[in-house]
Amino acid sequence: MRLLTIVSAALIACCAATGQTQAQNTAQGAAQSQATAPVSFDKSAMDLTSDPCQDFYQYACGGWRESHPLPADKARYGRFDEVREYNRYLLRSILEDASRPGKHTPNERKVGAFYAACMDEKAIDAKGIEPIEPWLNKVAAITSKQQLLDLIAKMQAAGLPPVFNFDSGPDLHDSTMNIAHLDQGGLTLADRDYYLKQDAKMMEVRGKYVEHIQRLLTLADETPKQAEDDAKTILALETKIAEASMDRVSRRDPKNTDHKMTVAELEKLAPEIDFPRYFRLVGASELDLLNVANPEYFQKLSALFVSEPIANWKSYLRWRIVKSSAPLLSKPFVDENFEFQGKYLSGQKELEARWKRCTSMTDADLGEALGPIYVARAFPKEAKKRMDVLVAAIEASMGKDIQSLEWMSPETKKAAEEKLGKVSNKIGYPAKWKDYRKVVIKPNDFVGNVRAATIYEHKRDMAKLGKPVDKTEWDMTPPTVNAYYDPSENNINFPAGILQPPFFSAKVDEPVNYGGIGVVIGHELTHGFDDQGRKFDSNGNFTNWWGPNDGPEFERRAQCVADEYSSFVSVKDDKGEVHLNGKLTLGENTADNGGLKLAFMSMNSQAGDKNNADKIDGFTPVQRFFIGFAQVWCENVAPQRARELALVDPHSPGKFRVIGTVQNSPDFVKAFGCKPGDAMVPAKACHVW
Ligand SMILES: [Zn+2]
């Protein structure tokens, strides 16, 4: 339950900066010459010619959207990306310093060596396909179903995406303990709809996908004929895997992924897959009990192990190895991967400069070695103290909000308050860092370095099985410009990277900070009480703590939000109109609406009479709250990317995060003097919290 989804070729990246160090930009092919420091509340970002009561997004963001056309190396660019981009310059200067000879700490040496190996394009290009050849040879040697499963296990342990996912995580019914989770996986395209939908766009995507497979496999030394045959086989097999997979909306309900069973029961369910052997090979030999998120998937996969010839499985595994490694290999692989993934699917015109990709990959693979260096350079000490005060204020508002709900019974209110009281918060960075001493980083072996880091993470993950959950761990690295709520741990988490403008600044008036980081805090807190989070109790266990009438009443109110956002059109072009999926985005939209309300309440209770203070820039404090909020979400998006996101992203696009939220807010209507009949004053406003 994150604030936003960051999907890029190079996983997550980003970071905050104080602005003192701007690395010299000699980047080869960097689209922007230099990232500029983001600011909170920007009057020039507004379009003052538009009417706030007709289109508040245009009013708050029209100027920004015009002055920030989509950079060539982005498929989507908004305020979050502005911060991320700006801060990548800081990470870059850290990594370049660390990669030069000199006196360095072990962490600095490690991240410096990783970054340098990634930047050594010449060495990477010279190797061509060599780094994955041992894997391709392993595939070639397979002659039995048992060898097939053995290789799937080895791939899993090395971080190569196999046919299903296996990892550790909290037990849904005893959140203090880690158990094993077995789940569906195995698709290359981002959603089962890409394989199964029969509309013109998806059929076009599949055609392009087959061509892409052919080209990448040809680069991996297959003959054109073999690559052509393989491409058809791979699409057909992935389509069968897609048919066996559960859709995203169903997966949002924890009851659909809650199936604890013994290994013996799993064996009965999927008799053709030797799971005890698999578990031994991935380092989970003592496994007895596990959660199988999607039993039907494994039933069908087991049948596919019989019905599909070994040769088809070998084509598929070869493809999974080549495709997942392509961004790490020589230029022809990187370019072909980008042509399909970045340019065709997302509408990104140019590949990001190498230093940007390498910075992001270092953060993704050695995040907690880079983290302490970043924190020392960029995390203002005051931020933690200030955040504690803000979080306490927003939590107090949630308490008041719960009490004021007319539709909730006193018993359920009591349980909700208990849950609220147990929410803990983590700010900035972990109390203890991961120990990377065993991760060996070598010069001239970039792919090997990535594998070393992923093998380390896999072993670390397996070691958690059967052990108590460590709530001090983080799911995001410190430089990340994002935040999250963890339903099993019942905590809210704010990495250092987000604690800066436009979210948070010591230089602006408080209403703007409440509209920025205040709404972010309220958003994460509300996740504990959205359609998904409400199903977990104060201890993070999946259980129903709602009174008999309160649950249905919640669902009725949530349905209003789902319908509202389903009516929004995300893309309209010659391939047709794409609506948002109100059910997929329900949790995030509920959190946005709750977050805005709670932050507004907190601002009022903290500000007292100051809300009647003089205008700044011509705006009252409450108007500045709403404009500050909206300006966090200014963005430009390529239509291709918008289409992808509408399918896979549980978050609404920036425009609807603003419009969908303010039009439910009576405080907004009052602040801008909007009237019934205005576009921002719908006949029926939705209120969950
Ligand atoms: Zn969220």
Q: How confident is the model at residue 6 (pLDDT cuts 50, 70, 90)?
A: low
Structure-derived torsion over alpha carbons of residues 549, 554, 555, 558, reported in degrees to the nearest 10: 160
Give the pTM: 0.93
Distances (CA, A) of 667 to 43, 604, 661, 674: 21, 11, 11, 10
- Burial code of 483-510, b = ≥16 C-beta within 10 A, e = fewer? bbbbbbbbbbbbbbbbbbbbbbbeebbb
> If you measure from the C-alpha of residue 213 to the centroid of ligand 1, how many angstroms do you get, rounded to a whole number?
34
Residue 573 three-state SS? strand
pLDDT at 410 exceeding the cut of 90: yes
Q: For residues 444-451, give the mean pLDDT.
A: 97
> If you measure from the C-alpha of residue 645 to the centroid of ligand 1, how many angstroms do you get, rounded to a whole number?
15
> If you measure from the C-alpha of residue 422 to the centroid of ligand 1, how many angstroms do you get, rounded to a whole number?
19
> If you measure from the C-alpha of residue 480 to the centroid of ligand 1, how many angstroms do you get, rounded to a whole number?
14
> If you measure from the C-alpha of residue 643 to the centroid of ligand 1, how many angstroms do you get, rounded to a whole number?
20
> If you measure from the C-alpha of residue 1 to the centroid of ligand 1, how many angstroms do you get, rounded to a whole number?
5
Ion ligand 1 neighbours (CB, 5 A) are: 1, 3, 588, 591
Per-residue pLDDT, 9: 30
- In percent, the amount of the chain with pLDDT more than 70 equals 95
What is the per-residue pLDDT across 363-397, written as a single tens digit (0 to 9) for each? 999 999 999 999 999 897 888 888 999 999 999 99
> If you measure from the C-alpha of residue 21 to the centroid of ligand 1, how many angstroms do you get, rounded to a whole number?
31
Q: For residues 347-368, give the mean pLDDT.
A: 98
| Residues sharing a CB contact under 8 Å with residue 588, sequence separation 6 or more, in sequence order | 1, 530, 650, 651, 652
Sheet holding 491-495, edge to edge: 424-428, 491-495, 484-486
Separation of alpha carbons 473 and 371, rounded Å: 13
Cβ proximity of 25 and 33 under 8 Å: yes
> If you measure from the C-alpha of residue 650 to the centroid of ligand 1, how many angstroms do you get, rounded to a whole number?
8
> If you measure from the C-alpha of residue 394 to the centroid of ligand 1, how many angstroms do you get, rounded to a whole number?
16
Q: For residues 291-295, give the mean pLDDT.
A: 98
> If you measure from the C-alpha of residue 66 to the centroid of ligand 1, how many angstroms do you get, rounded to a whole number?
27
What is the per-residue pLDDT across 631-642, written as a single tens digit (0 to 9) for each? 999 999 999 999
What is the per-residue pLDDT across 45-75, written as a single tens digit (0 to 9) for each? 999 999 999 999 999 999 999 999 999 999 9
Helices 354-365 & 106-119 angle (0-180, nearest 10): 140
Distances (CA, A) of 162 to 203, 210, 513, 630: 25, 20, 44, 41
Q: How confident is the model at residue 14 (pLDDT cuts 50, 70, 90)?
A: very low
Could you list the active site residues?
524, 592
What is the per-residue pLDDT across 647-677, written as a single tens digit (0 to 9) for each? 999 999 999 999 999 999 999 999 999 999 9
What is the per-residue pLDDT across 250-291, written as a single tens digit (0 to 9) for each? 999 999 999 999 999 999 999 999 999 999 999 998 899 999
Per-residue pLDDT, 161: 87
> If you measure from the C-alpha of residue 571 to the centroid of ligand 1, how many angstroms do you get, rounded to a whole number?
22
pLDDT at 213 exceeding the cut of 90: yes
pLDDT at 30 exceeding the cut of 70: no
Name the one residue in this structure whose structure tokens are 């970054």: 115
> If you measure from the C-alpha of residue 512 to the centroid of ligand 1, how many angstroms do you get, rounded to a whole number?
20
